[in-house]
Amino acid sequence: MQKLVTLFIASFFAVAAWSQTAEVSKDASGNKVLKGFITQQQLVTDSSFQWFLNNQKGYTPYSTALEAFKNAKDSIHILAFGGTWCDDTKLILPKIFALADAAGFSQDHITLLGVDHNKKTINHLSEAFNVDHVPTFIVLKNGKEIGRVVEWGKYGMVDKELGEIISGKK
């Protein structure tokens, strides 16, 4: 039954991501705002998001987080909410994708949802997952939330905290 729930959630996000494009707007500061499902590829290739690759440079994943991601790469999903306008998202999100890439974590296991300045996204998903701040990283295992890290987390090391959630040490 748990595998069925996980399959359903993964399928829902995969279908939703392919069937919907993000709403695009600009905020008062001139930032390009994506609201809805976003892919890493969009952030890498769109010149409006040069911050993505720039903020991956020189990043070395926390070693225990890297091990946790490697060990659980087939059994967990990360649901990430972020704002392409948000300074915290701009700093943290690229590093989490770099961590996932280094661990061989499939892009199919990360779903990124862009939110507007009111922390709203499509289909009321930010409300459904009780997201009030960004970035928020929700770790799902067998279709159930096992933990989340909001903004900088408890001690400013988002990758370490995600690793602790994934490995069951938190």
Residue pLDDT, tens place only, 57-68: 999 999 999 999
Q: Please state, in angstroms and rounded to a whole number, the distance separating the CA atoms of residues 72 and 125.
A: 25
Cα–Cα distance between 68 and 62 in angstroms, integer?
Answer: 10
124-165, pLDDT tens digit by residue?
999 999 999 999 999 999 989 999 999 999 989 999 999 999
Tokens of 163: 């690793």
For the entire predicted model, the pTM comes to 0.87
Average pLDDT over residues 19-31: 84
Count CB-CB contacts under 10 A for residue 99.
Answer: 23
Mean pLDDT of 85-103: 97
Residues 103 and 73: beta-carbon distance below 8 Å: yes
* Residue 17: pLDDT over 70: no
Residues 6+ positions from 24 with CB-CB distance below 8 Å: 32, 33, 34, 35
> Residue 21's pLDDT is what?
80
pLDDT number for residue 12: 52
> What pLDDT band is residue 4 in, cutting at 50, 70 and 90?
very low
State whether residue 61 is helix, strand or coil.
coil
Among left, alpha and beta (phi > 0; psi -120 to 50; other), residue 60 is beta
> Given this model, what pLDDT does residue 158 score?
96
Query: Is 80 exceeded by the pLDDT of residue 7?
Result: no
The more confident residue out of 42 and 6 is: 42
Give the pLDDT band of residue 9 (cuts 50, 70, 90). low
H-run or E-run covering 76: strand 76-82
- CA torsion 157-132-30-58 (nearest 10°) is 10
DSSP state at residue 21? P
Mean pLDDT across the chain? 89
pLDDT tens across 104-118, in order? 999 899 999 999 999
Q: How would CATH label the architecture of 2-167?
A: 3-Layer(aba) Sandwich (3.40)
What's the CA gap between 83 and 133, in Å, rounded?
10
Spatial neighbors of 125 by CB under 8 A, at least 6 apart, are 81, 113
